[in-house]
Amino acid sequence: MPRERNEAVTAGAKYSRIEAAPRQIAEVKRVLDDSAGVSHVQFNLFVERGNTVVEEGPRTLAATTFLKLYVKSD
């Protein structure tokens, strides 16, 4: 089950989707605050399919939602 974590999202860092099959990797492009002060994460999504990694394109999620779904990769 997704969990909420209290941490900063870092531009340029890679995150893996928790409990996702196939494996999903988010490469953070930037973190922006909207006019209401809500932080959003803009990232490129990559999906591992067999021995291949396919770029699925850009995505945006609220930072709180992003941190419930993704954990920082090493």
Say what the pLDDT of residue 40 is. Answer: 96
pTM of the shown model: 0.84
| Comparison of pLDDT for 64 and 1, the residue scoring more | 64
Say what the pLDDT of residue 39 is. Answer: 93
Kindly report, residue by residue over 1-50, the tens digit of the pLDDT.
344 455 689 999 999 999 888 999 999 999 999 999 999 999 999 999 98
Say what the pLDDT of residue 3 is. Answer: 44
Question: How far out from the chain centre does Cα 47 lie?
Answer: 12
